[in-house]
């Protein structure tokens, strides 16, 4: 039998045509596939002496900074944001922190729950589960204050989300958010915070689970309250110490780090007492820079763990170095 000669050019053309068709099919398949937009679970751990700290993300919220920040100008805000490669409409993190002492599991703040839905928040419990904890594992909740993005996660859909927890909060917070006269005096843009705060607290009060405190006290071994009034009347930090290592968990001392660290005089409309909040921020930043302890900040980009150092007349944020093991802070390792 005689073999038919093969045209090399024809063969190559056929292969190229087939490859082109396959490439077009692959490109079409890719164009039909939706872009993947979900982030990885938002939790991050670090060791603090014998304790383990887990940062938990409740998501981010976009804020119109030029409309919310006070004692400044839009031009000044825009320039400072541009220096950090950000715009006036910034994504602000909502962070909470879990302290596992080995004997107690303590959650500092609870995120916004459903109160910022659908635009933001509501991710804390998903990330709590991803971090290996269940809501019923939480022994204590420490509230820095009763604003929605810090206490809203206590109650979702009318249900107590942390049924086994004792809720620790400064007495001045309860006095203020349950004060009808204070609500009447509050500016219009703050009035909604009063019914939101009460709705988060009342179920736990009825259940006998609210534990008000006053002053600077030790709530439990290794965890002390630090009074920081201004943003709200009972605004509180929590100082956590174990085996010679220290972490201070801020509430709302800083809402926008690119602006308020270089210029601590800038306040925000959410402050109950802007003058007092400014003084508190200036003192807080100075102390953090001088003492060099680790800071956990509710609204600095997740995980919000790092240090404060002086820069000129202001300050700058030094993020915690990422580690795949339970890393101590840089200051603690010196």
**How do the domains of the chain map onto residue ranges?**
43-333
State percent of the chain over pLDDT 90: 78
- The mean predicted confidence, pLDDT, of the chain is 89
Q: Which residues pair with 142 in a beta bridge?
A: 108, 168
Q: What is the pLDDT of residue 6?
A: 45
What the block records as the tokens of 248 is 């201070």
- Strand 166-170 and strand 210-213: pairing? parallel
pLDDT class for 165, splitting at 50, 70, 90?
Answer: very high
Q: What is the pLDDT of residue 243?
A: 96
Asked if 150 contacts 191 with a C-beta cutoff of 8 angstroms, the reply is: no
d(C-alpha 176, C-alpha 264), whole Å: 26
Q: Is 53 exposed, middle or buried (0-12, 13-18, 19+ CB in 10 A)?
A: buried
**In the CATH scheme, what is the code of domain 43-333?**
3.60.15.10
Instruction: State mean pLDDT over 314-328.
Output: 83
251: which residues sit within 8 A by CB, 6+ positions away?
109, 144, 145, 150, 228, 231, 235, 236, 237, 298
Residue 159 has pLDDT above 70, yes or no: yes
The DSSP-derived string for 12-48 is HHHHHHHHHHHHHHHHHHHHHSPPP-PPPP-EEEEEE
Residue 241 has pLDDT above 50, yes or no: yes
Q: What is the pLDDT of residue 37?
A: 75
Q: What is the pLDDT of residue 30?
A: 56
* Selection from 290, 251, 291, 252 nearest residue 271 by Cα: 252
3-class DSSP state for residue 94? strand
């Amino acid at each position: 039998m005689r073999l038919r000669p093969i045209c090399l050019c024809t063969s190559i053309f056929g292969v190229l045509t087939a490859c082109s068709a396959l490439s077009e099919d692959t490109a079409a398949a890719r164009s039909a596939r939706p872009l993947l937009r979900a982030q990885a679970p938002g939790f991050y751990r670090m060791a603090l002496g014998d304790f383990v700290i887990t940062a938990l993300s409740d998501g981010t919220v976009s804020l119109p900074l030029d409309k919310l920040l006070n004692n400044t100008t839009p031009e000044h805000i825009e320039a400072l944001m541009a220096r950090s490669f950000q715009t006036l409409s910034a994504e602000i993190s909502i962070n909470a922190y879990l302290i596992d002492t080995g004997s107690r599991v303590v959650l500092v703040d609870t995120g916004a729950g459903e109160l910022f839905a659908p635009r933001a928040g509501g991710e804390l419990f998903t990330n709590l589960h991803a971090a290996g904890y269940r809501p019923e594992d939480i022994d204590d909740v420490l509230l820095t204050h009763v604003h929605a993005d810090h206490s809203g996660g206590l109650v979702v859909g009318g249900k107590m989300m942390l049924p086994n927890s004792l809720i620790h909060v400064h007495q001045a917070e309860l006095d203020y958010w349950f004060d009808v006269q204070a609500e009447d005096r509050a500016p219009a843009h703050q009035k909604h915070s009063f019914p939101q705060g009460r709705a988060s607290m009342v179920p736990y009060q009825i259940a006998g689970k609210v534990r008000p405190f006053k002053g600077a006290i030790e709530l439990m071994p290794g965890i002390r309250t630090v009074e920081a009034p201004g943003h709200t009347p009972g605004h509180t930090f929590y100082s956590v110490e174990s085996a010679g290592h220290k972490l201070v968990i801020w509430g709302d001392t800083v809402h926008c780090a690119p602006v308020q660290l270089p210029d601590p005089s800038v306040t925000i409309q959410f402050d109950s007492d802007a003058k007092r909040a400014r003084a508190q921020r200036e003192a807080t930043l100075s102390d953090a820079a001088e003492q060099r302890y680790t800071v956990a900040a509710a609204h600095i980009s997740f995980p919000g763990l790092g240090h404060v150092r002086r820069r000129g007349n202001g300050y700058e944020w030094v993020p915690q170095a990422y580690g795949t093991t339970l890393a101590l802070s840089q200051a603690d390792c010196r």
